[in-house]
């Protein structure tokens, strides 16, 4: 039985830039077999799109709520979108 594939667009606010947030997010996404991207925004947030199995995305969203050791996450806004399957890998974009 195939797990349901979903796409989630995430915006994370708090002290989340300069604390290896993107690096840790990419590493976990790759471990979970997710595709998409993560980047810093000009207003000091981290933005990401994750595509993959619903249960794996649930795991990365839990990570986003706490972040790596030096991060302080204030808010995570996650919106499910239509799965597109447009990514081959998960990467940090600049």
- Active-site residue list: 22, 40
Place of tokens 């998409």: 36
The token pair that represents 14 in the structure block: 């708090």
Show Cβ contacts of residue 6 under 8 Å, excluding neighbours closer than 6 positions. 51, 52, 53, 54, 57, 80, 83
Show Cβ contacts of residue 23 under 8 Å, excluding neighbours closer than 6 positions. 68, 92
């Amino acid at each position: 039985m195939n797990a349901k594939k979903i796409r989630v667009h995430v915006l994370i606010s708090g002290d989340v830039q300069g604390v290896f947030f993107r690096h840790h997010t990419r590493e976990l996404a790759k471990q979970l077999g997710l595709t998409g991207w993560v980047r810093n925004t000009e207003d000091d947030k981290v933005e990401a799109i994750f595509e993959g199995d619903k249960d794996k995305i649930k795991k990365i969203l839990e990570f986003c709520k706490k972040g790596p050791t030096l991060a302080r996450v204030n808010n995570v806004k996650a919106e499910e979108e239509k799965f597109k399957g447009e990514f081959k890998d998960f990467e940090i974009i600049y």
